[in-house]
Amino acid sequence: MNQEKELEDLILQTLSFYEPMSFSKIVFDMDTELLKTYPDFDRDKMLSILTKFEKAGLVQKQGEGTESLWIRTLKPRSQSLFKKIKMFFIKK
């Protein structure tokens, strides 16, 4: 389980907020020294991690099939406690 968390962190560090990346670009931009420590890391495992990130809202997928691109997204912040209290008392 710890190994999977490290792989997830590696993929998140590689993904860009500004430019959608293809599968091959993600692999080329990864740290090769860290990849050597995971000999069982393959395409299927990476696609499952990217799908998990899509469901969590961390990445957005563009395109289908071999032309898929992924871009990292910012998770929306939750409202602050002050805003929640303010909205409770000041209803529009």
Mean pLDDT of 61-90: 80
At 52, the pLDDT band (50, 70, 90 cuts) reads: very high
Question: Any idea which residue has 């406690």 for tokens?
Answer: 81
Partners of 70 in beta bridges: 21, 61
The token duo for 37 is: 């420590």
Residue 11 Cα to chain centre, angstroms:
7
* Residue-range domain boundaries for the chain: 2-72
User: H/E element holding 55?
Assistant: helix 43-56
Say which CATH topology domain 2-72 has: Arc Repressor Mutant, subunit A (1.10.10)
Predicted TM-score of the model (pTM): 0.73
CA distance 25 to 20: 9
CA distance 29 to 8: 14
